Structure 1
């Protein structure tokens, strides 16, 4: 983890004395920290057998159900975020930094979904694509075709 921290250009400028706790104590913003914490542990809801991020457009889910072959595919489309869209400047960081953040976010999404729907199995992942790191979560067995 420390190696990744030092790969962040702004941090490497400070030197090795600037660890995460020191950074937060001196330069951190509580609102940003809370926003990230809330993003990492979202609420979910069920629409037509799909477990989706709360607040997602239900009509959009229904449209995807008509177009895609199964609920898992629908969940993967609806339940995703591109990290570049929520953290400006992340595209200038080494990929390992974005992947580390994405893996942490995916871990949180999978855990949150599992806690809210304990009778179901979920899988979440962070993967690098054409538009940076994308995080998705879906039911491992989302009920087959729609």
Structure 2
């Protein structure tokens, strides 16, 4: 028995009562993203918008790292509704877990390419934030 089970929490029971397949698929996309390669850049599939990337490419004069950093930033507050203080306090750890998955997904998708996933705790920003960009 794990500590969670001793406390009455069971992932199977929780998920079957609260999470639809569509919600699980959306979470899977966030946690283990698909990537899009475009104009020598790598983008999170769920953040990619060709027109927006073209605008950033022109505005940032082709600076690949800067373009990736701008397009590939995710504020967790934009993806989760926070209703309890405990949920707010859990977001930095969740951001670190998501970052670990992004790193693994990027290494698998681009074994020879150096991509960095940065995490900020949100203390000086709009909540915990993740960014993916090349070195």
TM-score for the superposition, normalised by structure 2:
0.77
| Pairing 1:110–2:103 present | yes
Counterpart position of 1:139: 134
Deviation at 1:128, TM superposition (A): 2.4
Secondary structure at the aligned position of 1:132 is classed as coil
CA distance in 2, matches of 1:102, 1:79: 14
> In structure 1, what is the equivalent of residue 69 of structure 2?
76
Segments of 5+ residues of structure 2 without an aligned counterpart are: none
Give the drift of 1:27. Answer: 4.2
Correspondence for 1:51: 42
Q: Give TM-score scaled by structure 1 length.
A: 0.72
RMSD: 2.7
Provide the C-alpha distance between the structure 2 equivalents of 1:18 and 1:38, rounded to a whole number of angstroms: 29
The gaps in structure 1 that reach 5 residues or longer are: 6-15, 141-146
Bigger relative contact order, structure 1 or 2 (CA pairs below 8 A, ≥6 apart)? 1
Count of aligned pairs between the two proteins? 128
The question of whether the paired residues in 2 share the 8 Å contact of 1:40 and 1:108 is answered with yes
Pick from 29, 33, 38: which aligns with 1:42?
33
- Contact 1:81/1:134 (8 A) holds in 2: yes
1:62 aligned residue: 54
1:54 Cα deviation from its structure 2 partner: 2.0
Moved more, 130-139 or 89-98: 89-98
